[in-house]
Amino acid sequence: MEQDRSDRLVAKGRVWYCRPGSNGAEFCQTGQKDSEPYDVTIIGAGVVGCAVAYRLSQYQVRVLLIDRNFDVGEGTSKANSAIIHTGFDATPDSLESRLVTAASRLWPQLAEKLKIPFDPISALLLALDQKQADQLGPLHQKALANGVDDVEVVDAAKARQLEPGANKNVRGGLLVHRESIIDPFTVSIAFAEVAVANGVDILFGSSVIAVEDANQTIKTIVDDNGHRIKARIIVNVAGLGSRAITQSHGGKLFDINPRRGQFLIFDKSHRGLVNRILLPVPTATTKGKLVTPTIFGNVLAGPTAEDLPPGDDTATFTTIEGLQEVHAAAARMCPTLDVLRPIATYAGLRCNCSQGSYIIRANDGHHGIVTASGIRSTGLTSSPALADYLIEQIVEHCGLSLRRDADARDSRPQSSWPGWCRRPFEDPEKIAANQDYGRMVCFCEQISQGEIIDALDSPLSPCTLDSIKRRTRVLTGRCQGFNCGVRIAEIISQHLGVPLDKITKRGPGTQWISSRLPDGVQPNGARAGGQP
Amino acid sequence: MSSVPFKEVKVAIVGAGPAGIGAAVGLAKRGVAPVLLVDRCSEGGGLPAKCHASRHGVPTFAVYTRSKVVHGRDFATRLLESLEGTSTQMSLETLVLDVDVAEKTLTLVNPARGKFSVSAEAIIFATGARESTAAERGWIVGARGAGIFNSMQLLELAGRHDALPGKNPAIVGSDLVAYSTAAKLKAAGADDVMMIDTTASPRAGRLVRLFFRRWVRPDWRGPTNLLEIKGHLRVEAISLGNGNKLPCDAVVISGQLQPNSELLVEAGLNVHPRHRTPVVGRGQKISSPGLYVAGNVLGGFHGAQWCYFSGKRAAKHVSTALLSG
């Protein structure tokens, strides 16, 4: 037990969650009062922002990470296809292609270091008619041009042998080794946890409304809680919110047309249907809808690609047309899916820029402001390489000098593996030390009370239902909270000492229950004459 | 009830709801022992045990025995009492992780013992059912903010916390479960309760509707083939297939039970892929010898009493099979 505890990550940086009415008092008192301005302030704790914080935390710089949500990776980063791409089908020589290809080679080691569940299961691009089969050659050439040399064209018989569950009319395929599946939630969490362990501060629930004194060396970021945050260098990686920030300080504007992707999740009992990521042959307009196993053991199908009007960054709802379109496309690739019903659906918005992908500007409008936007669906893959690239830009153009921090860690300890992949109940010693690891709360995903409490005590001290869901997998199974929904809210409420009606799904405005019964009402169990 | 942990039993029963208890009682009557009854919840009794009669006395779960109405929790208490004095060993907070069909061995986990296994000569699955999720129904789409519940969560919130999910809830589903949910919400202080389903009229029969009239007359807004949930942070409204937008502050996805047959699927047994019901042969046997099913896992929607007798029937088949060798 002693040893176990020293094996835990300890937060050196501070983490604040701003609630309405706090008016920034807590942050101003403990965070920035009388202290030096932050060297670098990163706006946006999505996967890119967290990766930048992680890489910067290896150096002796004071870094603050700000996000309007109540957890890392709450925006674009939480709803994607959870794949680490090789970049085999990117446009050769683009920045996106370079970063994706570079990052895809970093991931196997990085995932191991950061204890992110990761599996290089490879991908099979399926040609379902002759026209598509004719495209396999050119796609192979494109992969080679992108420096992805471990791709092979396979014939119909081989494709059927590799994927017995796929459409029997397959005419051939392109096998892409190294295409991998990953736990997308843990990516942002792991980056941020190491960053906080190395002294990076995080401010959640803080929506930036203006950047003042942008032309000065020390700039002021103003947020909706009334915080005035002093920063020398600002990195704007706010995803769908990045345009508003650029506009507020007078940088060169770009347009964001969110592109919605809807997904279907099928139950774990159907995991055997697909062995690897099944991709359709891309058309001129879209990469198409894939069918893939997830690292959690489900089958995932999607996404759609729906262009939404600019500024529509809350349109993360599903539509009947979108879901039916995905189901039909999935059934074309894997016919058995036709009769199955998904257990859950979700939709996410990709940060799609009309001016092109991966818009990166150092000294955007003013010295010391760096903007990165238009990071589309490849952001999850490219994040570590993109973070390095952004830091290079900052050093080169914004005059930041970096000295390594000898004490900084770049990995998470063994105890950080998510509970669902290390199954604490398998270990008799853990059960002997703490019976909570054998007290199952989530029956579908087999998650214990001990794992939920570990997640609540983890370095970012998460406090919302969704943040616990992403860390432990509770509420994500086939019953979608039928059995455990209330139990989980109770555990959070007890452990954090917060009343049940203050528990939120993902921050203020999302209180789980809207009201309690009036006081003075007898609890139901106390009904007279209840027991025979 | 004894409490010495053992590794081998004559019969293992998965699920201590009405069906599982029925099976245990039936086996005890026939002298089959030892019998292990496991349940993943912290109390036995299954779904009825979660149904406290709420204030204003809404009988969320009523069973008629000998022409008397018994509420869910009382029914569960009686069931559990009927087990006392038998040699059945009950293991609560015990989740079945895995079934080895050939060896007839269950892998289990609980707080006291961690992971362990028990082998048996016969296994009865009385795993019950759950409500379908919104996605499984196929006609419910939209935002995923706060304020979306199912009936079980509502029962627990009302029963344990006196909490009301919303003042103007919309109920999705219209069977008996949906009606009792609506009654509970209304009695707990909701103003208006809307009810929506795909069917031309509510699924619940006229008797059920009449019975619940005392507490609630839901505002029937069906039929619709589409329901969109609006509101990014919290539920604000629902929008139906005919274009009607109805303000509400909570959505309760209710009824339409799905069998809990996942253990059987994962063990490689024959289960209907869409309806998830196990393929059952004569004597409640499933495709592998020595395995039986009882209760709502068989599919459909049955009351606690039916499940209890289904368990008893399974016990009869099991004991006959065990005696004949």
The model's pLDDT over A437-475, given as tens digits with 9 standing for 90+, comes to: 999 999 999 999 999 999 999 999 999 999 999 999 999
Structure tokens at A466: 């969704």
Q: How many CB atoms lie within 10 A of CB B300?
A: 11
Provide the pLDDT for residue A475: 95
> Strands (DSSP E) along A351-458, which ranges?
359-361, 369-373, 440-442, 447-448
Q: B113: which chain A residues are within 8 Å (Cβ-Cβ)?
A: 431, 438
Contact map slice: A 413-432 vs B, CB within 8 A: 425-428, 430-432
One DSSP character per residue, B76-102 reads HHHHHHHHTTS--EEE-S-EEEEEETT
Give chain B's mean pLDDT.
Answer: 90
pLDDT band, very low/low/confident/very high, at A294 (cuts 50, 70, 90): very high
Q: Is the peptide bond preceding residue B34 cis, with omega within 30 degrees of 0? A: yes
Structure tokens at A315: 């349109």
Q: Is the pLDDT of residue A345 over 90?
A: yes
- Please indicate if any CB of chain A lies within 8 Å of the CB of B113: yes
Give the tens place of pLDDT for each residue, B196-240: 999 999 999 998 899 889 889 999 998 999 999 999 999 999 999
Q: B135: which chain A residues are within 8 Å (Cβ-Cβ)?
A: 264-265, 341-345, 480
The answer to whether the Cα torsion of A416, A418, A422, A423 is positive or negative is positive
Q: Is the pLDDT of residue A24 over 90?
A: no
Q: Do A483 and B152 touch (CB under 8 A)?
A: yes
The answer to whether the CB of A170 falls within 8 A of the CB of A128 is yes
Provide the pLDDT for residue A287: 82
Question: What single-letter DSSP state applies at residue A28?
Answer: I
pLDDT band, very low/low/confident/very high, at B2 (cuts 50, 70, 90): very low
The answer to whether the CB of B115 falls within 8 A of the CB of A425 is yes
Structure tokens at A421: 């992949």
Range A470-481 average pLDDT: 95
Q: What dihedral angle (degrees, nearest 10) is formed by the CA atoms of B68, A522, B150, B47? A: -40
The answer to whether the CB of B296 falls within 8 A of the CB of B20 is no
Question: What single-letter DSSP state applies at residue A504?
Answer: B
- Closest chain B residue by Cα to residue A438: B111
Provide the pLDDT for residue A524: 34
Q: Is the pLDDT of residue B144 over 50?
A: yes
Q: Do A316 and B144 touch (CB under 8 A)?
A: yes
- Please indicate if any CB of chain A lies within 8 Å of the CB of B243: no
Q: Is the pLDDT of residue A350 over 70?
A: yes
Task: Give the whole-number percent of chain A exceeding pLDDT 70.
Answer: 93
Range A137-154 average pLDDT: 94
One DSSP character per residue, A12-24 reads -S-EEE--TT-TT
Q: Do A517 and B163 touch (CB under 8 A)?
A: yes
Contact map slice: B 147-186 vs A, CB within 8 A: 147, 149-150, 152-153, 156-167
The pTM (predicted TM-score) of the whole model is 0.94
At a CB cut-off of 8 Å and minimum separation 6, what does B65 contact?
Answer: B75, B305
Q: Do A501 and B163 touch (CB under 8 A)?
A: yes
Integer Cα distance of A396 and A393 in angstroms:
5
Q: Is the pLDDT of residue B149 over 50?
A: yes
Q: B234: which chain A residues are within 8 Å (Cβ-Cβ)?
A: 509-511, 514
- Please indicate if any CB of chain A lies within 8 Å of the CB of B233: yes
Distance set, CA A227 to CA A27, A205, A231, A413, B161 (Å) = 8, 11, 12, 34, 37
Distance set, CA B1 to CA A53, B35, B78, B91 (Å) = 58, 10, 15, 10
Q: Which helix (H) or strand (E) holds A30?
A: none
Give chain A's mean pLDDT.
Answer: 91
Task: Give the whole-number percent of chain B exceeding pLDDT 90.
Answer: 64
Provide the pLDDT for residue B5: 61
- Please indicate if any CB of chain B lies within 8 Å of the CB of A520: no
Q: Is the pLDDT of residue A19 over 80?
A: no
Name the phi and psi angles at A487, rounded to 5: -55, -45
Q: Is the peptide bond preceding residue B223 cis, with omega within 30 degrees of 0? A: yes
| Residue A141 identity | Q
Q: Is the pLDDT of residue A3 over 50?
A: no
Range A292-300 average pLDDT: 97
Residue found under tokens 């047959």: B261
Integer Cα distance of A209 and A211 in angstroms:
7
Distance set, CA A208 to CA A223, A315, A358, B190 (Å) = 4, 20, 22, 38
Range B176-188 average pLDDT: 88
CA angle, residues A55, A61, A66, in degrees to nearest 5: 70
pLDDT band, very low/low/confident/very high, at A530 (cuts 50, 70, 90): very low
Distance set, CA A415 to CA A41, A58, A192, A424, A427 (Å) = 30, 21, 16, 10, 13
Q: Is the pLDDT of residue A4 over 50?
A: no
Provide the pLDDT for residue B155: 83
Q: Which residue has the higher pLDDT, A299 or B56?
A: A299
Integer Cα distance of A54 and A409 in angstroms:
10
